[in-house]
Structure 1
Amino acid sequence: MKVLVTGATGYIGGRLVPELVAAGHEVRVLVRSPERLTDVPWRPQVDVAVGDLLDADATRKACRGMEVAYHLVHAMSARGAFEAREVAAAQNLADGAARGGVSRIVYLGGLHPNGVKLSRHLHSRVAVGEVFLRGVVPAIVLQAGIVIGSGSASFEMIRHLTDVLPYMPAPRWVRNRVQPIAIRDALHYLVQAASAPGDWNRTFDIGGPDVLRYGQMMNTYALEAGLRQRAIAALPVLTPWLASQWVHLVTPIPRNLAVPIIESLQHDCVVREHDIDGVIPPRAEGMLSYRQAVRLALRRESAGEVPTSWRDSSISGIASDPLPSDPEWAGTTVYTDERTIEGSDSPEEAWQRIEAIGGENGWYSFPLAWAARGWFDRLIGGVGLRRGRRSAARLHTGDALDFWRVESLDRGHSLRLRAEMRMPGRAWLELRVDPSDSGNTYRQRAVFFPRGLTGRLYWWSLAPFHGVIFTGMASRIAGNAPSRRSRTPAPNRQEGTR
């Protein structure tokens, strides 16, 4: 079958696409940033359409000639009118599917109770599902609760809360019942939904075999991780907002992601009907229990086999435009810090240090300053340094790297990072290595586009630290002694010129 997938750069979509390809489907993906697919192994096996779901014409073109369309785009945001945007995007897909001859839409929504006030996050997922169910094209709307797998935000939250806190004063929702599903089983239902017999236009609840309280999920994780059982005290004073701030501080999950997750745990979320079994039977080997799913997730993370992660998602409110080319800086205030060093190591050795930067490997200079900037970012609601990196040694375009995002990667030669920390402006960091007679020529450039007076003051307040941080970083990457100075140690200020 010819299948369109939206959200292919996300956690679920990035795992679904290779499963669909393996099942023999012809896959087209609709993405806004095709460069994020540069390094994924299945890229040569799919057709890439570039566009935004909020662009009706681009969506209609992507749907043309397709038989099934998957909608896997969902904003995890704690602020803004994201529901209106999500509904508009869903409507564009529904209209484009109708005009393009699509015979089925498959949407992964959220498991939720009836008759209660839902969180904004869950309410938006219900609203999107209703758009498809009202449309001309029949829709299978799968409703899942907590998805457990290596790299999933829900699993990461459970993991880090349990790892960090031997005793947990917790909100009342730790007593709520939830029905988690392993990522492997969720993908099974999604893949089979493309060819499921029948002209279905309805919702189907999906979940794993276990119904657990959230506190039980944390202690089951503790058993699998070789930890002692955690004492959990449910306190009525911890509101969802306060709980999300706590999660933000003690786990790598940023605040804008923690808030919607916590808000969605305020009620029991269990499967109400099992009608899906009559349409899509479970996997032949049976569904994974919660404990089996945790065990598999831990095994994959310890082996460095995490194909997608919540870290892959862009950060709401952070500008995602790529670094403008130098000629486009005319008439714009730009600050740069540029350093060039002749290193004695080979280019290959220098590149290994470039590609291993960040996460547990650190940033090669003044670790206290990096840590302080990371904690400050967490305190004001940013992602901080604890987001880390997916692999300890290898980067891919689109990867999260502490409070940066890999915007461009020419392996063995250059790396460009886009800042996702909170700051009054936009920033990039470029690292590049070339062969030279002495070994390697290492070039490093920080670029900052300030926003207003606050942005200018921000840059100049940090300029004294740049002399230490960036010089030490450049020297160590090039393979020289930390005391060796760069050719251009001073930061530059440029008013729209190069």
Structure 2
Amino acid sequence: MTEETEGNRHAPGTEAASPPGMRLVFGASGYIGTNLVPRLLEAGIPVRAAARSPTVLEARGWQGVEVVTADALKPETIEAALRGVDTAYYLVHSMAAGRDFGRIDLEAARNFATAAAASGVRRIVYLGGLVPAGADTEHIVSRQRTGDVLRSGTVPVTEIRAGIIVGPGSAAFEVMRDLVFHLPVMITPRWVLAKSPPIALDNLLEYLVRAPAIPEAADRILDAAGPEYLSYANMMRILAEEAGRRPPRIIPVPLLTPRMSSYWLRLVTAVPTPVARALIEGMRQDFDADAEVIRRLMPQDLLDFRASVHRAFEAEQRHTVAARWTEGAFAFRDYRPDYAYYAKRAGGSALARARPEEVWKVVLSIGGENRYFYLNGLWKIREILDWMVGGPGLNYGRRDNSELRIGDMVDSWRVIAMEPQRRLTLFFGMRAPGAGVLEFELTPEGDHTRISATAYWHPAGVWGLLYWYALVPAHLFIFAGMTRAIARRAEALDQARKQPDEELDDDTKPVP
């Protein structure tokens, strides 16, 4: 029996009339969390968002959201995040951690269940995955066991299990998108013939928003699915048609296993390789869903796959996709749906013995006559190569030598985002198979300032990925050297600022 008494229970599909309590979105920086928080706000529900990096959440620009730092592997941070929470969404998984993600998932779930019980949480809502009969892949088994661990605590758990989620940023959707846009012919294992009931992101979010207010959803596992079962081959065909592309020719090969096919994913998709590999290895069989219960408890109009894809592309074109500061943002992909949602990245950082003001002055002086602070010869070679293929690589100059504003050109770069003394984002303007940005970020650390430079690259298929990997050797040291050079210049500015004060002090000292 949950905390609601029989007298307080509501009819299936209805919600409690009392005002909703605080809901914690644990794992708010992930794909579902990033999309769920705005939906909760739209419903008038107070939200606390938790992630290991609060700066990632702050960059979302959510108004009225309490942002907290929490790590599922650090119990003391979980307890603080859960304080005063009525309902907690558990949206954490560790597939990106590599081979050991199964053990990490279970440890994190145990920590969360214990902290939720100690904090008086009324309900945990966990988003798991559909579990086919005889499932043995670590990705699927880990999701199932995570739910079991959460249920082993004393807090009632609503586990919603979903298969392929259709929306920008969904790992399975993005793998299919990358395949459709960049491989006209696919030699695949027979998993492309396996069937699954994909669900639209909007439909899944609606279930997540409504579930905590449904008493009958407590202590239950609910399968969530769209209205049709489709093979992965059919999904890719429909996706191609909605994108205005010719559907790829798919040739299933019985000897090519999902594990074998997962090894070449690094050259096909920008989805993080551990995540993509875990998904592919779990596609060996049909996924069934018993969705009758969830549809009865929370009725809604369900989108079919074609309508779901159409809505996903439409959301991107309207720029309504909730994304990381750079990851997935349509503008940073040059408004190209065929450029990968997930970005490859490389960067470096250095600590400057200077105030953010001095560091910011140096950052704003990038390009033009000042060039790029470090290994300018390499930058020159890249610019000449771009010019040789008709690009703007040799377009040197800037509007002002010391100031920048959004829309300014810095050589072949364009300023697309800026937060004074905090962040500067430049869009890559040279010719290449993909789109990218270079972002500088300043973080105060006591009397010092950390300057970070990160390149984000959204590749266009195989050639875009090969282009990125060819630059990896240079990336290993160029951004570290650039940030060190910026730090040194900022320290010189800071010292010059202090010098007049020191001379004045010397002049006003009494003569002994």
Q: Match for 1:55: what amino acid?
A: K
Partner residue of 2:190 out of 168, 172, 181: 172
Cross-structure match for 1:11: 31
Q: Does 1:84 align with 2:107?
A: no
Q: Does 1:265 align with 2:269?
A: no
Partner residue of 1:325 out of 341, 346, 351: 351
Alpha-carbon distance, 1:84 to partner: 1.5
Cross-structure match for 2:50: 30
The number of equivalent residue pairs is 388
Q: How does 1:57-456 map to 2 (within 5 A)?
A: 57-77=76-96, 79-114=98-133, 116-198=134-216, 200-282=218-300, 286-308=301-323, 311=327, 323=349, 325-326=351-352, 341=369, 344-346=398-400, 347-348=404-405, 349-350=408-409, 353-355=414-416, 362=428, 364=430, 388=435, 416-418=452-454, 429=479, 445-447=482-484
| Whole-Å separation in 2 of the counterparts to 1:52 and 1:300 | 31
| Whole-Å separation in 2 of the counterparts to 1:406 and 1:149 | 29
Identity %: 34
Deviates more, 1:96-105 or 1:416-425: 416-425
* Structure 1: stretches of 5+ with no match in the other structure: 329-336, 372-384, 390-400, 431-443, 449-469, 471-486, 488-498
Q: Is the CA contact (8 Å cut-off) linking 1:205 and 1:273 kept in structure 2?
A: yes
TM-score (normalised: structure 1): 0.69
Q: Could you say if the C-alpha distance between residues 248 and 426 of structure 1 is closer, same or farther in structure 2, counting changes exceeding 3 Å?
A: closer
Provide, for residues 34-75 of structure 1, a one-character-per-residue CA deviation record: whole Å limited to 9, x for no partner. 111233231x31111212121111101111111100011112
| Whole-Å separation in 2 of the counterparts to 1:327 and 1:198 | 58
Alpha-carbon distance, 1:22 to partner: 1.6
Q: Is the CA contact (8 Å cut-off) linking 2:26 and 2:91 kept in structure 1?
A: yes
Q: Could you say if the C-alpha distance between residues 429 and 62 of structure 1 is closer, same or farther in structure 2, counting changes exceeding 3 Å?
A: same
Cross-structure match for 2:503: none
Q: Could you say if the C-alpha distance between residues 30 and 168 of structure 1 is closer, same or farther in structure 2, counting changes exceeding 3 Å?
A: same
Q: Is the CA contact (8 Å cut-off) linking 1:419 and 1:426 kept in structure 2?
A: no
Alpha-carbon distance, 1:117 to partner: 3.6
Q: Could you say if the C-alpha distance between residues 16 and 99 of structure 1 is closer, same or farther in structure 2, counting changes exceeding 3 Å?
A: same
Q: Is the CA contact (8 Å cut-off) linking 2:452 and 2:483 kept in structure 1?
A: no
Q: CA RMSD in A?
A: 3.9
Q: Is the CA contact (8 Å cut-off) linking 1:419 and 1:427 kept in structure 2?
A: no
TM-score (normalised: structure 2): 0.67
Alpha-carbon distance, 1:257 to partner: 2.5
Greater Cα radius of gyration, structure 1 or 2: 2
| Whole-Å separation in 2 of the counterparts to 1:124 and 1:265 | 15
| Whole-Å separation in 2 of the counterparts to 1:428 and 1:47 | 37
Q: Could you say if the C-alpha distance between residues 359 and 55 of structure 1 is closer, same or farther in structure 2, counting changes exceeding 3 Å?
A: closer
| Whole-Å separation in 1 of the counterparts to 2:128 and 2:92 | 10
| Whole-Å separation in 1 of the counterparts to 2:270 and 2:50 | 29
The 3-state SS of whatever aligns with 1:233 is strand
